[in-house]
């Protein structure tokens, strides 16, 4: 099985960020990538280059990837200055070499943000996103305690809008694209998804307050409404969710300011 012989291969130069570890200084190094088929994915091109480096006794370029179909959110390269590269609405792994031309120099860096320290080369630590989720990104529903799924009809429009937000893959491109390294799009997607559903109402105030406060303490910047985030987002999550979250946050802050805190919240786990 070989590539269709009608396709012409080409060559590019990769200018890649190499950094040995979190504390090491990093810098760009150039590598040639030859005989590239336009049908190759960007990550397959990196695989080929890495095998060549290994053969030469050079340590291969570390890069994050897993599903290679745009759903797990692991891949995270900034390509020619753009998180996830030139394509609209795709992740790094869904970027194909047909987007580039013979002789190009392609600059590849990790997602840059204060809250995402570099682990090695193109790999960053995005554990901050998990911490935000742990602070409130859920609806409490113990297994075994749920009512019948059709007991609560949900208007199709609400369910569809919730799904639009729920598609977020947690990649962090929104943070990398933002000059303030704000995580507003990511957080607003989760707050929007759960807050749009009737099941999510009981914890709605608590959720938005906790998630936004955690985001602030983890070193993400604030939003100045430039919307670079949604432009870079592989799932094209709309920045309307940010406005929605701002309203939610305000209401929740007001309500919690006027509501006396219950003296005893009981023995529940969370």
Which residues of this chain interact with ligand FES, rule CB under 6 A?
65-68, 70-75, 91-93, 169
**Distance of closest approach, residue 71 Cβ to other proteins, in angstroms:** 5
**Distance of closest approach, residue 41 Cβ to ligand FES, in angstroms:** 10
Residue 119 binding target from other proteins, ligand SF4, ligand FES, none, CB below 5 to 8 Å by type:
other proteins
**Distance of closest approach, residue 94 Cβ to ligand FES, in angstroms:** 7
Q: Starting from the edge strand earliest in sequence, which strands make up the sheet with 82-83, in order?
A: 26-36, 10-19, 105-110, 77-79, 82-83
Q: How many CA atoms lie within 13 A of 110 on its CB side?
A: 28
Indicate the residue among 63 and 249 with the shorter CB distance to ligand FES.
63
- Residues in region 61-100 near other proteins by CB under 8 A: 62, 64-74, 87, 90, 94, 96, 98
Q: Is 192 a residue that touches ligand SF4 (CB under 6 A)?
A: no
Among 189, 194, 212, 252, binds ligand SF4 (CB under 6 A): 189
- Residues in region 239-258 near other proteins by CB under 8 A: none
Helix axes 204-217, 127-136, angle to 10 degrees: 150
Q: Is 168 a residue that touches ligand SF4 (CB under 6 A)?
A: yes
**Distance of closest approach, residue 132 Cβ to other proteins, in angstroms:** 9
Among 161, 174, 194, 245, binds ligand SF4 (CB under 6 A): 174
Q: Is 218 a residue that touches other proteins (CB under 8 A)?
A: no
Q: Is 41 a residue that touches other proteins (CB under 8 A)?
A: yes
Q: Count of CB atoms within 10 A of residue 200's CB?
A: 17
Site string for other proteins, 115-134 (x = CB under 8 A): ----xx--x-xxx-xx--xx
Indicate the residue among 128 and 169 with the shorter CB distance to ligand SF4.
169
Residue 237 binding target from other proteins, ligand FES, ligand SF4, none, CB below 5 to 8 Å by type:
ligand SF4
Interacting residues with ligand SF4 (CB under 6 A): 168-174, 185-186, 189, 233-235, 237
């Amino acid at each position: 099985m070989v590539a269709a012989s009608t396709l012409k291969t080409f060559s590019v130069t990769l200018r890649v960020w190499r950094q040995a570890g979190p504390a090491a200084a990093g810098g760009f190094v150039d590598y040639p990538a030859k005989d590239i088929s336009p049908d190759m994915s960007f990550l397959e091109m990196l695989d080929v280059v890495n095998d060549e480096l290994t053969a030469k006794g050079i340590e291969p370029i570390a890069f994050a990837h897993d599903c290679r179909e745009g759903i797990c959110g692991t891949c995270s390269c900034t390509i020619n200055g753009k998180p996830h590269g030139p394509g609209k609405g795709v992740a790094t792994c869904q970027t194909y070499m047909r987007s580039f031309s013979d002789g190009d120099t392609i600059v590849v860096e990790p997602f840059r943000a204060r809250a995402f320290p570099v682990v090695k080369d193109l790999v960053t630590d995005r554990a901050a996103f998990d911490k935000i989720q742990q602070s409130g990104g859920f609806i409490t529903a113990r297994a075994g305690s749920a009512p019948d799924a059709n007991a609560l009809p949900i208007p199709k429009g609400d369910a569809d809008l919730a799904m639009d937000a729920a598609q977020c893959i947690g990649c962090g491109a929104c943070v990398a694209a933002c000059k303030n390294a704000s995580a507003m799009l990511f957080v607003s997607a989760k707050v929007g998804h759960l807050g749009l559903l009737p099941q999510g109402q009981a914890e709605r105030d608590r959720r938005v307050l906790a998630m936004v406060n955690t985001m602030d303490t983890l070193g993400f910047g604030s939003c100045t409404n430039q919307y670079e985030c949604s432009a870079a987002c592989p799932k094209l999550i709309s920045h309307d969710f940010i406005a929605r979250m701002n309203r939610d946050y305000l209401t929740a802050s007001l309500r919690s300011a006027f509501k006396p805190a219950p003296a005893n919240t009981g023995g529940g786990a969370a």
